[in-house]
């Protein structure tokens, strides 16, 4: 596969178990080359008009931009939250070895 544009997806999720399951599902589908489960993290946010805080886990997916839209849709579909925060973006730069890893890690 040719070298493409690197992309990332970030989402927080409720438990380490759900974070791992999400990471395994998306990477296993071939839409992302790698996922890092980060946490626990402390989150502070406004939900339904009230200040909230919770312990969450973050999942950072690394992928090629060619699968970004499909990967975002899968993360949103599999997420445990009713209104998940799923943010995907193109990365500005990466060395050739990273681009190769991302491109070859996709199905």
pLDDT band at 2 (very low <50, low <70, confident <90, very high): low
- What distances in angstroms separate CA 64 from CA 22, 44, 93, one per listed residue? 18, 30, 12
Do the domain assignments include residue 46? Answer: yes
Do the domain assignments include residue 71? Answer: yes
Do the domain assignments include residue 13? Answer: yes
Do the domain assignments include residue 1? Answer: no
Residue 45 pLDDT exceeds 60: yes
Q: Which domain holds residue 44?
A: 6-104
The CATH number that applies at residue 69 is 3.30.70.120
Do the domain assignments include residue 87? Answer: yes
Contacts (Cβ under 8 Å, ≥6 apart) of 63: 6, 7, 8, 9, 31, 32, 33, 34, 71, 102, 105, 106
Cis preceding linkage at 40, omega within 30: yes
Q: What mean pLDDT is predicted for residues 44-57?
A: 96
* Number of domains observed in the structure of the chain: 1
3-class secondary-structure state, position 88? strand
- Higher-pLDDT residue of 80 and 3 is 80
Predicted TM-score of the model (pTM): 0.92
């Amino acid at each position: 596969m040719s070298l493409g544009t690197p992309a990332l997806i970030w989402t927080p999720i409720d438990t380490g178990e759900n974070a791992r399951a999400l990471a395994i599902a998306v990477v296993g589908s071939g839409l992302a080359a790698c996922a890092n489960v980060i946490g626990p993290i402390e989150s502070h946010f406004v939900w339904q008009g009230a200040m909230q805080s919770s312990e969450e886990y973050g999942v950072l997916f690394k992928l090629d931009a060619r699968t970004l839209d499909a990967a975002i849709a899968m993360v949103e579909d599999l997420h445990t939250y009713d209104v998940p925060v799923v943010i995907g973006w193109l990365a500005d730069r990466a060395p050739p070895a990273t681009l190769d890893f991302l491109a070859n890690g996709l199905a």
